[in-house]
Chains A and B, each alone.
Chain A
Amino acid sequence: QKEVEQDPGPLSVPEGAIVSLNCTYSNSAFQYFMWYRQYSRKGPELLMYTYSSGNKEDGRFTAQVDKSSKYISLFIRDSQPSDSATYLCAMSASRDDKIIFGKGTRLHILP
């Protein structure tokens, strides 16, 4: 079983829809969870990070962590064509551990 699993997509949704992106993981020691957005031929940019369980909201983006299920989600409200990108989840067990990345989900927002 891989440490971090992420559906590669592509996921296509109409503009204005709510998007749900997800990752599952196997290492119960993970406590730091991140989401990165990567546009084509660009480096990833950090969107959000959370510590332990719970929700975190930033504008149209909400990150959710369910440690009991080993499942994290990123919700995008009122999706825009500019949200079309690859979204990478990432996590680590402690502040001094290396980050484990998911393979990324390609998202297409259709105008």
Chain B
Amino acid sequence: DGGITQSPKYLFRKEGQNVTLSCEQNLNHDAMYWYRQDPGQGLRLIYYSQIVNDFQKGDIAEGYSVSREKKESFPLTVTSAQKNPTAFYLCASSPTPGQGLYEQYFGPGTRLTVT
């Protein structure tokens, strides 16, 4: 999966609990992204980061938080404020900003189920 690791593959949580999804890359990419994929909805951008210690909200950031303390790591926290957190979460990375937000490389995904 292109040097991007997401863990765990499956995650189960009770409603009201925060949960953190891990994403690590060894591609030396500057930019990293979090998407959510729901059946029939396609990929929706949650957050992205183009450089360490900086990140921007995507289209559906409400109820999520991120940090980017290291170039290799971009963890996503799904908070209890997220109304419908059950989904397939995908992390991606791409080369140096300014050289394209295209050509993103995806991790294997984490399937989160909240009951």
A binds B: yes
Are B42 and A102 neighbours in the complex by a CB distance under 8 Å?
A: yes
How many A-B residue pairs have C-beta atoms within 8 angstroms? Tell me. 62
Interface of A toward B, CB cutoff 8 Å: 8, 32, 34, 36, 41-46, 49, 88, 90, 92, 95-99, 101-104
Are B101 and A99 neighbours in the complex by a CB distance under 8 Å?
A: yes
Q: A44-B90, A95-B102, A98-B45 are in contact. List 11 more A-B contacts (CB 8 A).
A: A36-B106, A41-B88, A41-B111, A43-B108, A45-B1, A45-B105, A49-B103, A90-B102, A92-B101, A99-B101, A101-B42
Measured as residues with beta carbon below 8 angstroms from the partner, the interface class of chain B is: 20 to 34
User: What does DSSP make chain B's interface, helix, strand, loop or mixed?
Assistant: loop
Contacts of B90 in A (CB 8 A): 43-44
Interface of B toward A, CB cutoff 8 Å: 1-2, 4, 6, 40-43, 45, 48, 58, 88, 90, 92, 97-109, 111
CB distance from B76 to the nearest CB of A (A): 14
**Contact among A8, A43, A96 with B98 in the assembled complex (CB-CB below 8 Å):** A96
Give the distance in Å from the alpha carbon of A101 to the alpha carbon of B109 in the complex: 17
Are B102 and A101 neighbours in the complex by a CB distance under 8 Å?
A: no
Known: A49-B103, A98-B58. A41 touches B98 (CB 8 A): no
